[in-house]
Amino acid sequence: MSTIPEVDPHRDVLVVIDVQNDFCPGGALAVADGDAVVPVINTLAQRFEHLVLTQDWHPPGHHSFAGAHPGRTPFETVEFAYGPQTLWPDHCVQGTPGAALHAGLDLARAQLLIRKGFRPDIDSYSVFYENDRASPTGLAGYLRERGFSRVFLCGLATDYCVAWSALDARRLHFDAVVLLDACRAIDLDGSLGRALQVMREAGVVLAQDSEAH
Ligand SMILES: [Zn+2]
């Protein structure tokens, strides 16, 4: 692990991923200790001039919901047209309280909100591409047009949306830093360890405040 690099306001942007009620304790797809990231993110965000938020935003009956597949249960893996896909409990349904950003986030000055997962048949982990790996969210173009070359990533969950986003950032030739203090993981069958390893191999900087650990 590295300490958190110094932020360059001209080239750096903080992307806060899916800090939504359904991913926090009490939510439909709660990440253990998920809401613990909120105060950490609020503090870290003060170092950045440029903030982007993302929101998982599914229509009712989304194809990634186990409830849309009779006989299937959440966390099973099934084959979709684009490859293996984990089935999830219904979560982050458009316009519901569960889909709302956590009320404790103090990020009103964020400049962009990217919504993902709204195509009925395609799930969405990365903030850059939907899970078919072909449908872009538009974030890469936005970042390039704004002149940002390094993305700092935090939010929920480390081993899914944060990791997939960081790996896509590297593929798209952005520098990527994951702020581990400001992430929490689902850790399904060792998925956290695998995600950290793959991110390291892809040149993602895994950073945390040394004082915090
Ligand atoms: Zn989702």
Please report, for the chain, the start and end positions of each structural domain, with discontinuous segments joined by +: 12-60+93-212
* Fold (CATH) for 12-60+93-212: Rossmann fold (3.40.50)
How confident is the model over 88-126, as pLDDT tens digits? 999 999 999 999 999 999 999 999 999 999 999 999 999
Residue 89: other Cβ atoms inside 10 A: 16
Q: In angstroms, what is the span from residue 167 Cα to ligand 1's centroid? A: 18
Identify whether the C-beta of residue 44 lies closer than 8 Å to the C-beta of residue 14: yes
Alpha-carbon distance of 1 to 207, in angstroms, equals: 5
Specify the pLDDT at position 211: 59
How confident is the model over 127-174, as pLDDT tens digits? 999 999 999 999 999 999 999 999 999 999 999 999 999 999 999 999
Q: In angstroms, what is the span from residue 110 Cα to ligand 1's centroid? A: 22
Q: In angstroms, what is the span from residue 88 Cα to ligand 1's centroid? A: 8
Q: Three-class SS of residue 178?
A: strand
Using omega within 30 degrees of 0 as the cis cutoff, is the peptide bond preceding 157 cis? yes
**Global confidence as pTM:** 0.94
Q: In angstroms, what is the span from residue 180 Cα to ligand 1's centroid? A: 21
Identify whether the C-beta of residue 104 lies closer than 8 Å to the C-beta of residue 35: yes
Active-site positions read 18, 116, 161
